[in-house]
Amino acid sequence: MTEPSVFTRIIQREIPSDIVFEDDRVIAFRDIAPQAPVHVLVVPKTEQYRDVTELASGDPELLAHVVAVAKQIAAAHSDGDFRLVFNTGAGGGQTVFHVHAHVLAGGLEEGSLA
């Protein structure tokens, strides 16, 4: 049996985090190494999907919910404009293989990559 991901441990309250949103399907918390004034991770509560491509094919409604929560977070914590980033695979910068979205907002420079 594999170890639970760091995100599962946050969901289970084994690791503290600055939670900004939670419902029965997702949890959202501030990134510990922010790349923008607003940098929040939106994480499905299931470990079933490793990345966004698996989530899109396995549960498109949950993916839509992740995007809707991202929009809600940007509206509450910034001016409503935001960048939504899903890293996919180690070569794509993914370090935790439990699907999650990065919501980046506030002070992003045009054309910059986060």
CATH of domain 6-105: 3.30.428.10
Torsion of CA 108, 64, 71, 76, to 10 degrees: -130
What are phi and psi for residue 92, nearest 5 degrees?
-95, 10
Catalytic pick among 39, 77, 98, 100? 100
DSSP code for 93: T
Q: Give the model's pLDDT for residue 107.
A: 74
Half-sphere exposure of 27 (CA within 13 A, CB side): 19
Q: Give the model's pLDDT for residue 110.
A: 53
Q: Could you tell me how many residues make up the chain? A: 114
- Contact status, residue 51 vs residue 12, Cβ threshold 8 Å: no
Half-sphere exposure of 38 (CA within 13 A, CB side): 25
Could you tell me the mean pLDDT of each successive run of 10 residues in the chain, 114 residues long?
88 97 98 95 97 98 98 95 96 95 82 44
Q: Is 100 known to be catalytic?
A: yes
Q: Give the model's pLDDT for residue 27.
A: 98
Q: Give the model's pLDDT for residue 2.
A: 76
